[in-house]
């Protein structure tokens, strides 16, 4: 997923857009930025981004031509104004139905609207922040641990691994394999295609049978994950 060079379209370079752009700038993504405000685009230019477009919110043709230029894997709708964000989401979907859209919102109200407008994923930043504050005051060590694992320690990675046909995992039960002892990995959960497309935490206590196509969610050091994937690939018959 991360290996091939993807193009990402970011709509909005306001407070949200700027932060999101910053997190992508270091990675090997082709980042395109669109905004309706010339000032925002100016600031993006100063911050070192070059694929910038200022567009008129009602001019669908310009937007369509930008979408044609590049094969965008994902579009982030991150306008500061929630209404504009919903508008952009629905415009994009009307131009290209298959586009994968991740949208930012600040309330349950607009989350619903964004989902109706066709956003594939909605990030409720306020809800996220509220949860963070709650954990900070009640369980600070948990927040520290999660931040360390997800964001701070570059060596630690979470990874979704799809079980390949014929590998040593295919047909085994999750309790048969000791992920910690054998691979130094923590198995968080599984998407067991037999029971549906939902993610299930292993702590539910179900002894899932792993089949080809199921997805394991693992946390561990990058090297260990790499070794695990390699082992799995090599064990294919």
Partner 1 sequence: MIVIILSSVAIIIEETEHPLYYWLNFYDIYIVTTIFIIEYLLRLWVYVDRRKIVIEEFENSVFLESRFNTKRVLLKIWRKTLQYIFSPFAIIDLLAILPAYRELRILRIFVLFRAFKIFRYSKNLVEFLDVLTSKRTELTMLFFLVLFIVFISGASLYVFEAKTNPNVHSLLDAFYWSFVTISTVGYGDITPTSNEARIFTVIIILAGLGLISFFTSIIVSSFTEKIDEIKESKVLSKVEQLNDFYLICGYSHLAELVAQKLKSEKREFVIIEQDPKKYESIQKRSYLAIKEDASKREVLERINLKNRVKAVMCLAQDDIHNIFIALNIRSLSKSIPIISRTFNKNSYKKLKLAGVDYIVSPYETAGLIASKILSQPIAIEAVINILSKKKNAVCDETEVLKNSFLENIRIKDIDLDKYKLILLGVRRIDENGKKFHFNPSGNFILKSGDLLIIMGYSISVSHFKSLVIESSLTHARKKR
Q: Which of 68, 130, 165, 233 binds partner 1 (CB under 8 A)?
A: 130
Shortest CB 56 distance to partner 1, Å: 25
| Contact set for partner 1, span 102-121 (CB under 8 A) | 102, 104, 106-107, 121
Shortest CB 175 distance to partner 1, Å: 8
Q: Which of 5, 19, 112, 233 binds partner 1 (CB under 8 A)?
A: 19
Q: Which of 57, 68, 116, 142 binds partner 1 (CB under 8 A)?
A: 142
Structure tokens belonging to residue 221: 């050091």
Q: Which is nearer to partner 1, 23 or 94 (CB)?
A: 23
- Among the listed ranges 34-42, 46-54, 70-78, 90-98, the one in contact with partner 1 (CB under 8 A) is 70-78
Q: Which residue has the tokens 């959960």?
A: 189
Shortest CB 122 distance to partner 1, Å: 11
What is the CB-side half-sphere exposure of residue 79 using CA atoms within 13 A? 17
Rounded to 5 degrees, φ, ψ at 47 are -85, 5
DSSP codes, 20-74 = HHHHHHTSSEEEEEEES-HHHHHHHHHTT---EEE--TT-HHHHHHHHHHS-EEE
Question: Is residue 78 within the footprint of partner 1 (CB under 8 A)?
Answer: yes
Question: 105: buried, middle or exposed (CB in 10 Å: 19+, 13-18, 0-12)?
Answer: buried
- Among the listed ranges 45-53, 91-99, 128-136, 165-173, the one in contact with partner 1 (CB under 8 A) is 128-136
Q: Which is nearer to partner 1, 37 or 60 (CB)?
A: 37
For the chain, state the CA radius of gyration: 21
Q: Which is nearer to partner 1, 56 or 226 (CB)?
A: 226
Distances in Å between the Cα of 138 and the Cα atoms of 133, 142, 167, 232 are 9, 9, 43, 40
| Contact set for partner 1, span 153-212 (CB under 8 A) | 153, 156-160, 175, 180-181, 184-189, 191, 199, 201-205
Q: Which of 57, 58, 146, 233 binds partner 1 (CB under 8 A)?
A: 146
The strand pairing partners of 217, in sequence order, are: 160, 189
Question: Is residue 129 within a helix (H) or strand (E), and if so which, with residue range?
Answer: helix 125-138
């Amino acid at each position: 997923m991360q290996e091939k060079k993807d193009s990402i379209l970011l709509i909005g370079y306001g407070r949200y857009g700027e932060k999101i752009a910053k997190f992508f700038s270091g990675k090997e993504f082709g980042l395109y930025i669109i905004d309706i405000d010339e000032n925002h685009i100016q600031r993006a230019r100063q911050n070192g981004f070059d694929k910038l477009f200022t567009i008129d919110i009602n001019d669908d043709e310009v937007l369509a031509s930008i979408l044609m230029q590049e094969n965008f894997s994902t579009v982030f709708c991150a306008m500061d104004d929630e209404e504009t964000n919903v508008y952009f989401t629905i415009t994009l979907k009307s131009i290209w139905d298959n586009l994968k859209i991740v949208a930012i919102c600040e309330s349950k109200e607009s989350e619903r609207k964004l989902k109706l407008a066709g956003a594939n994923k909605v990030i409720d930043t306020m809800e996220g922040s509220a949860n963070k504050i709650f954990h900070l005051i009640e369980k600070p060590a948990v927040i520290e641990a999660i931040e360390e694992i997800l964001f701070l320690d570059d060596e630690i990675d979470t990874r979704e691994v799809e079980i390949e046909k014929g590998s040593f995992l295919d047909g085994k039960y999750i309790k048969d394999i000791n992920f910690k002892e054998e691979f130094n990995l923590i198995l968080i959960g599984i998407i067991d295609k037999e029971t549906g497309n939902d993610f299930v935490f292993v702590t539910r206590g179900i002894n899932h049978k792993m089949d080809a196509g199921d997805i394991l969610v693992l946390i561990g050091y990058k090297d260990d994950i790499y070794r695990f994937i390699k082992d799995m690939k090599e064990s294919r018959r």
